Every structure is written in C-alpha cells, then in structure tokens.
Structure 1
Amino acid sequence: MQYRRVGRSGLEVSRLALGTMSWGAAVDAYEAEDQLKTFLDAGGTLVDTAPIYGDGNCEELLGTLLTKTGVRDRIVLAGKAALVHRNGEVERDASRKTLLEQLDLSLRQLGTDHLDLWQIHRWDERTPIEETLSTLEQVVRSGKVTYVGISNFTGWQTSLAHTWLASRPDGLPIVSTQMEYSLLHREPEAEVFAAAEHHGMGVLAWSPLGRGVLTGKYRAGIPADSRAADPGWGDFVSRYLTPAKSAVVEAAARASEGLGVTVAHVSLSWLLARPGVASAIVGARTTAQLQESLASEELDLPPEIVQALDDVSGVSR
C-alpha cells in the first residue's frame, strides 16, 4: 500500500481507505472482521466511519472489532458528526450541542479516547458556521480530536470554513475535504478541488467507483442482486446508468481489456493519480469485493489511457 500526506498537513494515510457505511446493516460482524483484517494485511491505515452508518450500528461494531483485535494503534480513525436520525428522518445538525454529543458517543462506541480525524458531515444552513467551527477548536484543544476536516461542502463553503478557522488565534487548519468523486462524477474539480488546493487541503474521495457502476457490473443490464435492483438504492445508482455515463464505463472497459485488468482497477488507478487526492474510500459488501479494490494499487495507467479517460469523462458530461 502506498501512503500520502493529507494536503499540507502532517497526517499520513493509506491512499486507499476502508469505508464502513454498510457495517452493521448489509455487512455483519463476521464479514466486517474479515474486511478489517484484509485491509490491514494489505497495509491500509485509514478507516472512515460515522455514527449514522449502518443504521446507527456501525461504530459499535467497529469498536468491538478494534477492542477484540487490538489494532487501534495501527489505524487512522476518521469519524464524522452533524447528521442525525430523528423521527425516522436524517437531519443535518451541526450545533455545538449535537456535535459534542455525537463525538462523545462515537468515542464510547469505538472504544477510544480520540479520533485521528473528525469531519463535519454536511453543511448545516440552520446553525451559524462560527458555532460549528469553534466546536472544532474546542475538541482539538481537549485532545479528543487530532485533525479536523469537512465533508460534502461546496467550493465557497470550503473556503469560508478554512479561512475563518485558520485565521483564529489557534490557527487551526481544516486538513481535508471528503466528497463524492470518480470518473462518473468530476463536477467537484470545478470549485471544490480549486479551493482545497488553495488552502492546502487533501481530498478524500467517497464512492470512487461511481456507486458501483465503474465495476462494470451494469454493462449488460441490472443484476438482480445489485444495488440498482434494490428499491432502497435504485435511485442512488440510476443517475449513473445514463447513455453519457455508459460511454465513460465503456472507455474504462476498453482500457481494462487492453491492460488485462478489471474495470474497477482502471477507474481507481485513474482517480488515485488525480492531483490533490489523498485517499479513495472503498466500501464493500464482501471481502472479495474489497480485495478487488485493494488490488488496484498495483496498476499505473499509461499516459495515453489517462488522457483518453480524461477526454471521455470531462465535466461537461
């Protein structure tokens, strides 16, 4: 596994991260333990989680595994806050009260005294940004958090948050921004990547395989056991099953055939070579799927293939 610094910070992470969004829901304890072992055996370090993941069951499961396996000191543990389950709905709440409550809950469930990276999961338009950001200062001073980041912020929100916090007496930088990014979703390049580069922030890419479409599994239709066939996930995947997006997948497939690798390997290799990307967060329902993603570390795409993929996947699509 290769490692990178997150932006201009001192935080070093594996360039493939383990995503746990389905742990405690689609991924049970046995599968999760196997995935964690597989990831660590491959040299992975960055594990990304959130209290809302796995229908609220993820962090307790992950914490149990960390205690059982004794590997806490081998991982960079990245958590989040500001999304909460209330009255059957997911709400944004980045108030100081909710952030501190979620952090304390995460620490208890994960069985640790600190998070290596703590991220504001979503911008909350109802809470003054000053209240949210000053809470980040508070938890770093307390020792409960080492580095802070943001997630799913727009370009102007990214710049506003970083500038306000870095200009405070403590000069606390936001080191990372997490966002959806892949060959099928390059829109963040227009503003968010520019803001991140300007402020010295690293990009953590979620759904780097385009919600599963860049595995190539949908080229011949929708498999019955796929997310796209699941009523709860169909809309999540369908936006990438358009003719324009299919052209990108086919270009990646042609490259994969020529190189003798999988479509997923081509897609991840392209992403990891993008300027500013510190790590790609790969989630999986099975250990076999995770192993497939981890194997992409061995591939470096030829420049002509990179250029072809750049052309076909341009943001104008």
Structure 2
Amino acid sequence: MRYLDGLGTTRRYSVIGLGTWQFGSVEWGYGADYAAGEAAAIVRRARELGITVFDTAEAYGFGRSERILGDALASSGGTGDVVVATKIFPMLPVAPVVAQRGVASAHRLGVRTIDLYQVHQPNPLVRDPTTMRGMRSLHDVGLVDQVGVSNYSLRRWQAAERTYGSRVLSNQVQFSLLHRDPACDLVPWARRTGHVVMAWSPLAQGLLTARYDATHRPSGLLRQGPAWLPGNLDAARPLFDVLRDVATGHDATPAQVALAWVVHHPGVVAIPGASSVAQVESNAAAADIRLTDDEQVALTEAARAYRPRTGVSALPGLVRDKLPGA
C-alpha cells in the first residue's frame, strides 16, 4: 500500500481507501447477513492490506453504515491507526445542527474523535460560514480532527477554508477516467497546498471494470443511467480495449488499471466500495501499479474519445430499457 506524503495529519492516508455506502443499504441487496458477516470480513481484510481510510456517511443506510463500520473496526483492532471518515447530510447545516449531528455520528461509529468530518453536499441556501462554525466547535472540543467537504467547486472549497480559519483538508468528488474535471483544477491546487482530493465512484459504478458489453449488462439498480445503454457500451469498447491492453502489461485487471489511473495523480485517495473480500484485495493491489506516463496518456485519450449518448438524446433508449424483457 502507498500513503500520501506531507499532509501533517496524525493518521496516514492510504491512496486506496474503502467506501462503505453499501454497508446497510438493503435496497442494493446488502441485507442483515451481509452486515453481520461479509462487511466485517471486508474491513478486517482491508486493514491487513494496509488500507487506512474508511469512508461512510450518516445518509448511507440512514445511519446503518456508520454503525456497521464502527462495529467492524472495533472487532478488528479498534480505530487507533485508521482514518474514520464520515459526512453530515446537509439538510439545514447551521452551526447547532452540525454540532448535534456530529455527536450522533460519533456515537454510531463508536469513536471519541471523528478523524475526518465532511459536508456531504454544498447547500444552495445555507452558506458555509454557519456550517463551518459548527465544524469549528466540534474540532475545538476534540470531537473532530480534520474537516472536509464533498462535491464542492474549487472556489467554494477555498471559501469554506477561509471561513473555517484553518485547513479544510479534503474535497470528496466524483473522479475517474470518465469524470476527469477534478484533474483540471482541484487536483493541481491540492497538490500545491497540501490538501486531499478523495475520489468517489473511481470505477464509474463498475463501468470501468470492462466486464460488460451490449449483450451482457448488469441487472437491477446497478444498471441505472445512460452509460449502460447498449449503444453506449458499444461506444466504450475502444476504451475497454486500452484498459485491457494496459492491464495485460501489469498482470492486472482493467478495474485495477482504472484505479491506478486515479491515484497516479498526487494527493488523491480513491475510495471504491467492495462487495466481497476478493474485491477489496483487488482494489488494494491497484496501489502497487505504477503506470508509465505513456500509459496514463493513452488511457486519458481513450476516455476523451468516448462519446456516450446523454441527456435528451438518451431518453428513447432509457425508455426502451425500462420495458419488460429489455
């Protein structure tokens, strides 16, 4: 495992973390048996592999994810050497509410200090000064170590930091080969200033595993959105071919190469989920893949060439995809 350098934090941040949105999410097929068994095994194995960043949120499973993660960490060695990261759902994130909900999250997680407490989304009506006052109060009493945000623009991230009065360590954003915008502004700024970009959905909800095509698609909730339309999967074949070619050269899988592309960027932590021990082992191994500059460029160019149908042009296909037998 590799870790970010130069952060000046009390805990090490592994470049591959574990996203736990699926813990407690029964609507995605993760039921009580998964919570009691597989989730604990995944967390235990992640720790053995050197993963230190465990990310959850109060919104995941309406607090169940926090409880499951807290129990899994407690049973696998405690929280003294890991980064426990969670997020406040930004419904009325005024200072008193932020403070109250931070206490509630810490209780569900079973920790005295939340290592990284993040604002889950920018609120369009409630500005950051009151939110950051709540974060500051939690930090000052020792309930929160580091503060972060999620899905913030660079300008709003910087403004939140000015309001907070010290470093807002991280910004968790969608970042993958198919969502490359953070590489243009967030990542360079974070590299220069000692901040962290945390990449959610670094495998584009599984699309970048290159396991699917127009005749073999996932089922149920996993097949949501225009990316999974047959025509768009056909359009993705050249990108999948490059992923496979690069993977062959590293004795790896396309998914591992897609993760390696993300963490090739300095100051970035990828937080893929894992539905099994085997998947967390595969994710962790991506940290050891060192892409060459030529491979990084080839992957980026193949991703740029991918032009899926989206928006209004994708609507007819999405409607057909909902019909019985589709």
Partner residue of 1:129?
128
Aligned residue type for 1:127: V
Partner residue of 1:13?
13
Partner residue of 1:282?
272
Partner residue of 2:137?
138
Q: Deviation digits for residues 228-253 of structure 1, max 9, x if unmatched?
A: x2147513864894555443233212
Are the equivalent residues in 2 in contact too, given 1:6–1:203 (CA < 8 A)? Answer: no
Match of 1:183 among 169, 177, 182: 177
RMSD: 2.5
Whole-Å Cα distance in 2 between the matches of residues 222 and 55 of structure 1? 33
Q: How high is the TM-score relative to the length of structure 1? A: 0.85
Q: How high is the TM-score relative to the length of structure 2? A: 0.83
Post-superposition shift, 1:183? 0.8
Query: Which stretches of structure 1, 4 residues or longer, exceed 4 Å deviation after superposition?
Result: 6-11, 239-246
Partner residue of 1:79?
86
Post-superposition shift, 1:259? 3.6
Q: Deviation digits for residues 87-136 of structure 1, max 9, x if unmatched?
A: xxxxx432223322221111111111111111111101221221011112
Whole-Å Cα distance in 2 between the matches of residues 269 and 76 of structure 1? 21
Deviates more, 1:3-12 or 1:115-124: 3-12
Q: Deviation digits for residues 43-88 of structure 1, max 9, x if unmatched?
A: 11111111111343111112222333332112111111134xxxxx
Are the equivalent residues in 1 in contact too, given 2:213–2:234 (CA < 8 A)? Answer: no
Partner residue of 1:113?
112
The verdict on how the C-alpha distance between 1:110 and 1:42 changes in structure 2, with shifts beyond 3 A counting, is: same
Whole-Å Cα distance in 2 between the matches of residues 46 and 115 of structure 1? 12
1:68 aligns with 2:70: no
Are the equivalent residues in 2 in contact too, given 1:158–1:196 (CA < 8 A)? Answer: no
Whole-Å Cα distance in 1 between the matches of residues 6 and 255 of structure 2? 24
Match of 1:307 among 283, 297, 306: 297
Post-superposition shift, 1:221? 3.7
Partner residue of 1:3?
3
1:100 aligns with 2:99: yes
Partner residue of 1:248?
239
Structure 2 gaps of 5+ residues are 308-326
Larger proportion of strand? 1
Are the equivalent residues in 1 in contact too, given 2:186–2:197 (CA < 8 A)? Answer: no
Deviates more, 1:204-213 or 1:232-241: 232-241
Partner residue of 2:22?
22
The verdict on how the C-alpha distance between 1:60 and 1:267 changes in structure 2, with shifts beyond 3 A counting, is: same
Whole-Å Cα distance in 2 between the matches of residues 260 and 65 of structure 1? 32
The verdict on how the C-alpha distance between 1:231 and 1:271 changes in structure 2, with shifts beyond 3 A counting, is: closer
Are the equivalent residues in 2 in contact too, given 1:123–1:153 (CA < 8 A)? Answer: yes
Aligned residue type for 1:108: H
1:214 aligns with 2:213: no
Partner residue of 2:285?
295
Partner residue of 2:252?
261
Aligned residue type for 2:56: T
SS at 2:284 equivalent? helix
Partner residue of 1:87?
none
Post-superposition shift, 1:314? 3.8
The verdict on how the C-alpha distance between 1:131 and 1:233 changes in structure 2, with shifts beyond 3 A counting, is: farther
1:150 aligns with 2:149: yes
Whole-Å Cα distance in 1 between the matches of residues 57 and 80 of structure 2? 19
Whole-Å Cα distance in 2 between the matches of residues 122 and 64 of structure 1? 26
SS at 1:308 equivalent? helix
Post-superposition shift, 1:182? 0.7
Partner residue of 2:315?
none
SS at 1:234 equivalent? coil
Aligned residue type for 1:70: G
The verdict on how the C-alpha distance between 1:4 and 1:108 changes in structure 2, with shifts beyond 3 A counting, is: same
Alignment of 1:163-242 (within 5 A): 163-166=162-165, 172-197=166-191, 199-219=193-213, 221-223=215-217, 226=218, 229-231=219-221, 234-235=224-225, 238=228, 241=232
